[in-house]
Structure 1
Amino acid sequence: MNIIILGAGKVGSYLTNELSLQDHDILVIDKDKDVLNRLLEQNDVMALEGDGCDIEILKEADVSNCDIFIALTRNDDTNIISAALANSLGAGEIIIRLRDSKYVNNVDRIKKLTGSNLVINPEYLAAKEIQRSIKYSHARNVQTFMEDRVLMMEIVIGENSRLAGKRLSETTSYLDNLDILIGIVNDNGKITIPNGNFLLEAGQKIYILGTKDDVDLFYKAEIPENIRMKDVLIIGAGPISHHLAGLLLERNFNVTVIEINREKAIDIQENFTDAVVINADGSDPDILEEARIDTYDSVISLTGIDEENILISLIAQRYGIEKIIAKVNRTNLLKLTGILDIDATFTPKSAASNYINRLIRSKFEASDISTLNKLYRLESDEVEVLEFEVSENSLIFDKALRDVNLKPDTLVAIIEHSELNGQIEVATGNSIIDMGDRVLVITKSRNISKIDDILE
């Protein structure tokens, strides 16, 4: 696939590193020659020094023949103009990065103006990941499919769980009542896509799939209310914090924000009147003690300085905070020091890059039988979760799943029925896939790029 990336900043460089490991022809455009040289030293890609708003530069880049044009500069205006020019030159898919609310709040108009297929906001994507991590604090991995209507959650079976000590076939009254299924089990490193005879035991990691509401009910049934998160302390009032505060308040969390800059503190207070905002230095241990840091369920450090975020996280660890999240762009700091669990950190650039990468991989692996909309790899890449949109040529049509001969370790988990106004069904042996349906498949098999590849 021929891909052009405009902007070699944090997101652009990270995405280039990821895509260069795949079978794509990549050209990166940036004004900064030194940045491009560093990128060329690390990756097998091409580079072009220049301004993405210069139509001659875009012509030199042969934009008219690219499959995907991705505008990721830090300047929204540059991304919009370059995308519009790329569209006029005949570029294929167009993805643009936008951050300013005046644009983000008018996404449909921007898409129409630029011919773009996708508009992303890295800060919002990062905030959404953090919000899910807080809401489902006892879940290890939470992913969404089918426009966030289907949820997949990894959770450890507790000693008091209604699942512990039962075979999967014996849990139907519990799981079917919630309309969910268990798609993957990790038993001390042994990865299984379970059948009805599989024995569930405390300590196993399981992946639950179902509608968002039903998975939410399962989580609440498995996790006692008294140990769920309620009080959240955010340090720093940057763009991610703005998105995160709104997402958490919408879900009835108690939110406190500490921000050293007075203007930023006033701004976030005016935008979120239900939040408690403190104008102080959140990296000062005395300030954190005065704010009673020990009373919070979660501390999220989102200042613009990696070292500060690491320090705040270490202070939170000392106070025994259950959920600690730090924004760390330079992850080499963590590798060098080894002072903070990598699972407690995140980078906005990786959230945006992973989102774009999944889209590109789905386009790259599309076929005339079905379109692969999303692809996730889990458990050290042993398992893939694939979302297909099925077309009229599939061999799987008009057959109950119990009569379909699937490959070993392969499960049809979710079906979205196009003829039933997008109704979501947790798949059973009686389920039937029709033309236009979207299907979620879990498999340990490799090289599945179309729906018929799941057949034996």
Structure 2
Amino acid sequence: MDIKIVIIGVGEVGFNLVKALSKEKFDITVIDIKEEKCQRITNTMDVRAIVGDGASQRILQQLDMTNIDYLLALTRIDEVNLVAAKSAYEMGAKKIICRLRNTEYSHESAIITPEQFGIDYVVYPEKAAQRDIENLIRQTSAVDLEEFKNGQINMVGIKIAHSSPLVGRNIKNVELSNPYIPHKLALVIRENESFIPPKETIYKKDDIGYFIGKAKDINEIQRMAGKPAFKVKNIMILGAGKIGRLLAKSLQSDYNVRIVEQNFEKAKKFGKTLTDTLILQANGLDIDFLNSENIQETDCFIAATENEQTNILASLLVKHYGVKQVILHITTTNYFKAVRRIGVDAVVSKNISAVNEVLKLIRSDQQDLPVSSFEDLNVDAIELSVVQECRYIRKKLTIDQIPEELCIGAICRNNEMIIPNNHTEIYAEDELLVITKEENISIVEKLFQ
């Protein structure tokens, strides 16, 4: 029986979520107040669409909520999401996931909490983007960074420059010639297409390679790839919006942080609350202003205004002036692959971060395995324990006999982290981190469960 999902709000988050889930066996209904958004969905995907207010009881009563497995309230308006969640809860929806922008609801002293509305899980897109950006700041020269096993294992994305010592060499050769830098190349993005690389894959210029290693070895992996990390001291954030403020509040005690905000009232208002951050009221695209602030001495520039055209232009401008690390935030997810190639160091989207978070929740529930989905990479990360009676153990297979569509990135054995090589053995009760495409998750289960 298909899992029934209702998605209220099909903006960037809702649309990309439907696009990901519609590839699987889910019975999906979307609700949006704008007819053109519903048409966009139904013209490209096999889902049911209802035009109307997702917070309206009359609209929700068109569905038998007692049969709904997941109700996702994903509009841009917190109040609509809360009302829709409460109505669906009272009507019998089984699990409710809600998108909220206002982080006050998560405070310990909050008078109104998501639990009072029957909400099982809250997604805060801006907080998700803040977390992703902070990871990149703390691991410079990377285009992406994901953490596993409570931060003990990292997957770091590195763009392979033409000067990289890896260019022209294959994966197997690089692993053998760097025995003291244990790593696994789990994923390659080449010409906007991602794939799990076979061992004979040759590194090429402009590849983005995703390397898995122990957290303590990531700096050495970056150096091996020709992109050594550097120390960040001075940070400039363009835009005092939600993401900019969250970043400044979190970073101001460890770095010299400046926020550039063009709106005078906004700059004045938040200058009083961010006491350890210098807020400058100026146009971040003004070259004279950037020169007066010695932009070339900035270690990290984060373009986080609510106008992505401004973000893109500002990022290119400061990169030209020699800023070491430029992080660009975008909201239109269709731009994601294109802007990766324009010369900035890293691209982050609060919408993609939110989609990945929701996909992880739903897929982990359905697979009975912890599954982290990375929609921007078109890949999943699965964490599972090897069962004694599994096919791998019964058939006495070796790590070389594992299908190339699966990458065993790390093994946790008796609390020890192991980055596997060709001679590594896998035992019952080992905890594996497997990187693969969504369609191959069943192969992982058959092999190790």
TM range (shorter): 0.7 to 0.9
Instruction: Quote the residue 1:373 is aligned against.
Output: 371
Q: Is the 8 A contact 1:257 1:275 kept in 2?
A: yes
Alignment of 1:53-452 (within 5 A): 53-106=55-108, 110=113, 112-146=115-149, 148-155=151-158, 156=160, 159=165, 168-169=175-176, 171-172=178-179, 174-175=180-181, 181-184=183-186, 192=197, 194=199, 207-215=210-218, 227-249=230-252, 252-330=254-332, 340-341=342-343, 345-364=347-366, 366=367, 370-376=368-374, 385-390=380-385, 395=390, 406-409=401-404, 410-415=406-411, 423=415, 425-426=417-418, 429=424, 432-434=427-429, 438-442=431-435, 447-449=440-442, 451-452=444-445
Q: Following TM superposition, by how much is the alpha carbon of 1:312 offset from its aligned partner in structure 2, in angstroms? A: 2.0
Cα distance in 2 for residues equivalent to 1:9 and 1:288: 34
Change (3 A) 1:17 1:185: closer
Deviation at 1:430, TM superposition (A): 5.3
SS of residue in 2 equivalent to 1:371: coil
> What is the alpha-carbon distance in structure 1 between the residues aligned to residue 222 and residue 341 of structure 2?
31
Query: How far does residue 357 in structure 1 lie from its aligned partner after superposition?
Result: 2.9
1:143 positional shift: 1.7
Q: Which residue of 1 aligns with 2:446?
A: 453
Residue 3 (structure 1) shift: 1.3
Retained in 2: the 8 A contact 1:310–1:340? no
- Alignment deviations for residues 174-233 of structure 1 (CA, whole Å, 9 cap, x no partner): 24xxxx5324486999964559xx999999975443444553676589889884443221
Q: Structure 2: state its 5+ residue gaps.
A: none
Distance 2:219 2:131 in 1: 16
Closer, same or farther: CA 147–87 of 1 in aligned 2, 3 Å: farther
1:347-403 deviations in Å (ceiling 9; x for gaps): 322221233234334444x1xxx5242245898x6xx55313449785169899986
Q: TM-score, normalised by structure 2?
A: 0.77
The worse-fitting range, judged by mean Cα deviation, of 2-11 and 26-35 is 26-35
Check conservation: 1:397, 1:433, Cα contact below 8 A: no
| 1:65 CA displacement | 1.2
Q: What is the one-letter code of the residue matched to 1:128?
A: R
Structure 1 residues 447 and 11, CA gap change in structure 2 (3 angstroms): closer
Kindly provide the CA deviation profile for residues 415-436 of structure 1, in whole angstroms up to 9, marking residues without a partner as x. 457xx7xx463265355342xx
Change (3 A) 1:127 1:279: same
Shift in CA distance, 32/378, structure 1 to aligned 2, threshold 3 Å: closer
Give % identity: 27
Q: TM-score, normalised by structure 1?
A: 0.76
- Structure 1 residue 296 displacement after superposition: 1.3
> Structure 2 counterpart of 1:408, which letter?
P
Structure 1 distance, partners of 2:247, 2:438, is: 37
Q: What secondary structure, in the 3-state scheme, does the structure 2 residue paired with 1:448 have?
A: helix
In 2 relative to 1, CA 211–246 (structure 1 residues): closer, same or farther, beyond 3 Å?
A: farther
Structure 2 vs 1, CA of residues 235 and 209 (structure 1 numbering), >3 Å: closer, same or farther? Answer: same
Do the aligned residues in 2 keep the contact of 1:72 with 1:96 (CA within 8 Å)?
Answer: yes
Residue 7 of structure 1 and its aligned partner are, at CA, apart by: 1.7
Partners of 2:88 and 2:152 lie apart in 1 by 33
Checking the alignment, whether the CA contact within 8 Å between 1:121 and 1:352 is kept in structure 2 is yes
Contact 1:154–1:207 (8 Å) recurs in 2 = yes
Instruction: Give aligned pairs, total.
Output: 434
2:382 & 2:442 partners in 1: Cα distance? 10
Q: Deviations over 1:75-101 (max 9, x none)?
A: 223323322332333323321111212
Structure-2 separation of matches of 1:333 and 1:312? 16
CA RMSD between the two structures: 4.5
292-301 vs 218-227, which deviates more?
Answer: 218-227
Question: Aligned to 2:441, what secondary structure does the other structure show?
Answer: coil
What secondary structure, in the 3-state scheme, does the structure 2 residue paired with 1:80 have?
helix
The one-character-per-residue Cα deviations of 1:269-324 (angstroms, maximum 9, x if unpaired) are 34433322112222333222222222212322222223322332342243233333
Is the contact made by 2:359 and 2:373 (CA closer than 8 Å) also made in structure 1? Answer: no
Name the amino acid aligned to 2:175.
L
Counterpart amino acid of 2:34?
A: D
**Is the CA contact 1:232–1:255 (under 8 Å) kept in the aligned structure 2?**
yes
Contact residue 141 and residue 325 of structure 2 kept, 8 A:
no
Instruction: Describe the SS at the equivalent of 1:447.
Output: helix
Q: Distance in 1 between matches of 2:186 and 2:118?
A: 39
